[in-house]
Structure 1
Amino acid sequence: MASSKKHSREQREARERLRHYSARTVVHEKTLARRKRDNILAISIGLIVIALVSAAQVFYFSSGPGAPEPAPSFTPEPSASAQENVGDVPDVSVAEARTWTGELSLNDVTLGIELDGAGAPQAVASIVDSIANNYYVGKFCHRLVKTEKVGLIQCGSLDGTGASEPGYAYGPIENAGVGGFYPAGTIAVARSGDDAFSNGRQFFIVFDDATIPDDAAGGYSIVGTVVSGLDALQSEITDGGVADDAEDGVPVIETSITRFTIQ
């Protein structure tokens, strides 16, 4: 009888130990699961915080108050885009991939010029063809720019206002100034801002070393060089300044193209 009671007691004790063990196991597993969940949550929050901080820094240094000051921009007229207007633009073969020499007279000032048909074949073809068709004579130089970084006079607008010519535009940009630098004597083609296919018949002459930053389309097609007469251009025309004492506008001395020859 005593043996039977002892056996029953041992069974109860064994069941009790098993119950406690099972309870501890469940608690341990729940603790591990909770720790894993907490770790995942902590990592997720950390990643979100890092992403927010990174986004804030990007905004601060790109669009916010920490953004660098943009470089001053300059866009020779015409101001209206004319990419869709192809008109009667001559073939590049007209430039003959050679150097053209000639004379360009503004008022009574004669400039000796050279055009680079190999470096800017499409732009030079346009100018050579326009000279042959007597387009330029009588056209005004409607714009003069005189700043610390830019000195140029712009000519050849169809209506004398600098507006683009309907039906006449071409691209792409050829032989642009390296790093936005256009040395004194440079002859380049004007175009609309941010549009590489809006080159036309208008051109500008740089009479003082100029830094003209590229825009979204790039720089400006250099077609040639003034090889003589640049000093006279300055003393007789550009030194007269810009109307209303401005830095960019109509020349005080009314200027037009009186002669343009090429060979």
Structure 2
Amino acid sequence: MAATKREREYARKRQEQWEQRQAQARARRQRTFAIVAIVAVLALVGGGFVVANLGGAANPAASSTPQAAGDCPAAEVGARDGGDLPDPSAAEDRTWTATVDLCAGGTQTDLVLELDGTAAPQAVASFVSLADQGYYDGTPCHRLTTQGIYVLQCGDPTGTGTGDPGYSYGPIENAPKDDVYPAGTIAMARRGNDGESMGSQFFVVYQDSTIPSDTAGGYTVLGTVTSGLDAVQAVADEGVDGGAGDGSPATPVIIEGVETQ
């Protein structure tokens, strides 16, 4: 098959996948609007939910109850299967663009990421695969830190900080030698002292942060934010639920979808 024909076929398949994800997202939004209405009624008659305390950077815990962010749909909380870990070659040794459709406090923002498939091929291959499957659609960003380090952590469909796509991987790729993660860095979360424990969770650095390496090393940097970081900063400005420096963001943040190219 000629290169141009392969490219057209690849583009056609990606467009079909995107249209399918959009249709699924619309259906989910319709369902979640109904859920939000039910939750509101329950709250009026004494219902509610409990938000657990958050733990460390690698293994936080958060509310497992779906939350709506203003006029945003509620998060679809629950375990998901991300399929098989893709081979690093799927990152194609190139730069990718990922557009993350965020909704926070009723405001929708495109968080545009540039992913380095050369420097972090395994992480980028995994992220792109999960995004293209719709794995991240409807998931919450469950953790915000506002003291010491400055990150918003996302990518766990369970909303607890313990969820994964059914696989884990390593080793650590492209970690900064000086432990400095500039504002706009996108990096993979993992368990402490375990360089083989990366999965679907990632964090967005919204202010320059020094994150010390542990016995496993640093944290895989898979790319940078090229647009929309101000929306993450706005969430951080509202602080953590309950006023602590580490916990669920006071303004719930939902990933409505992710498109890669």
TM-score, scaled relative to structure 1: 0.66
1:177 equivalent in alignment to 2:176: yes
The answer to whether the 8 Å contact 2:165/2:200 transfers is no
- Partner-residue secondary structure (3-state), 2:186: strand
Instruction: Give 1:94's aligned amino acid.
Output: A
1:136 equivalent in alignment to 2:132: no
* CA separation of 1:262 and 1:250: change in aligned 2, threshold 3 A: same
Residue matched to 1:97: 93
Instruction: Give 1:178's aligned amino acid.
Output: K
Give the alignment of 1:31-180 within 5 angstroms.
Answer: 76-78=57-59, 88-107=84-103, 108-147=108-147, 149-165=148-164, 167-180=166-179
Instruction: Give 2:115's aligned amino acid.
Output: L
Question: How far apart, CA to CA, are the structure 2 residues paired with 1:233 and 1:172?
Answer: 28
Question: How far apart, CA to CA, are the structure 2 residues paired with 1:105 and 1:139?
Answer: 11
* CA separation of 1:240 and 1:177: change in aligned 2, threshold 3 A: same
The answer to whether the 8 Å contact 2:60/2:160 transfers is no
From the two aligned structures, give the one with the greater helix fraction. 1
Equivalent pairs counted in the alignment come to 183
Q: Percent identity?
A: 51
Q: What is the CA-CA distance between 1:170 and the residue it aligns to?
A: 0.3
Equivalent in 239, 242, 255 of residue 241 of structure 1: 239
Instruction: Give 1:186's aligned amino acid.
Output: T
Cα deviations across residues 63-89 of structure 1 (Å, max 9, x unaligned)?
Answer: xxxxxxxxxxx9523369xxxxx9721
The answer to whether the 8 Å contact 2:131/2:259 transfers is yes
Pair member with larger Rg:
1
- Partner-residue secondary structure (3-state), 2:242: helix
Instruction: Give 1:228's aligned amino acid.
Output: S
- Partner-residue secondary structure (3-state), 2:178: helix
Q: What is the CA-CA distance between 1:167 and the residue it aligns to?
A: 3.0
Give the alignment of 1:188-227 within 5 angstroms.
Answer: 188-227=187-226
List 4+ stretches of structure 1 deviating above 6 A.
Answer: none
Unaligned 5+ residue runs, structure 2?
1-54, 62-81
Question: How far apart, CA to CA, are the structure 2 residues paired with 1:240 and 1:210?
Answer: 19
Question: How far apart, CA to CA, are the structure 2 residues paired with 1:102 and 1:195?
Answer: 27
